């Protein structure tokens, strides 16, 4: 595979990640969006599909393996957000009768909003790791070193 194609795949993974983050933010902000557009599991988002699929051919690179931890952390934080936004109201019947459902939902949304800075920070770590991967791929290509592990049949 040519260098420009590898770099294009990395850029597409970056753009997919940025779209995922924007949709996660939109959900927290209460914009009408299908929650299924922001997959909870790291293997279900477009970035994760690239990382665990075609991108896995880059697994011999240190910068590639460095992507997994921030990606997992990002989804862990989003899982907390998702649970806050979409878990059923499990308050007691008395609490539901005498409390305000709107207040309960608002409290949950506010808790989710508090997690957004962490999600954004984890996203930035992932994006920096992608930058490092691009650099490592470019340097290895210029040196004529093997970039892809073509023993994988993807």
Domain parsing of the chain, residue ranges: 3-143
Least confident of 59-63, 141-145, 147-151: 147-151
d(CA 110, CA 75): 19
pLDDT in tens, 128-139: 999 999 999 998
pLDDT category at 90 given cuts 50, 70, 90 is low
Residues in the chain: 154
- Domain 3-143 adopts which CATH fold? 1.20.120
d(CA 71, CA 20): 12
Q: Would you give the DSSP letter of residue 44?
A: T
Is this prediction's pTM over 0.85? no
Q: How far apart are the first and last CA of the chain?
A: 13
């Amino acid at each position: 595979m040519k260098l420009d194609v590898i770099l294009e795949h990395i850029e597409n993974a970056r753009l997919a990640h940025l779209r995922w983050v924007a949709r996660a933010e939109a959900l927290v902000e209460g914009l009408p969006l299908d929650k299924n557009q922001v997959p909870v599991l790291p293997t279900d988002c477009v970035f994760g599909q690239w990382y665990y699929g075609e991108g896995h051919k880059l697994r011999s690179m240190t910068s590639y393996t460095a992507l997994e931890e921030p990606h997992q952390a990002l989804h862990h934080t989003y899982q907390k957000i998702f649970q806050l936004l979409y878990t059923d109201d499990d308050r007691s019947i008395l609490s539901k009768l005498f409390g305000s459902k709107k207040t309960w939902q608002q409290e949950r949304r506010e808790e989710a909003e508090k997690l957004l800075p962490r999600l954004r920070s984890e996203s930035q770590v992932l994006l920096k790791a992608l930058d490092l991967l691009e650099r490592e791929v470019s340097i290895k290509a210029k040196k004529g070193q093997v970039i892809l592990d073509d023993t994988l049949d993807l």
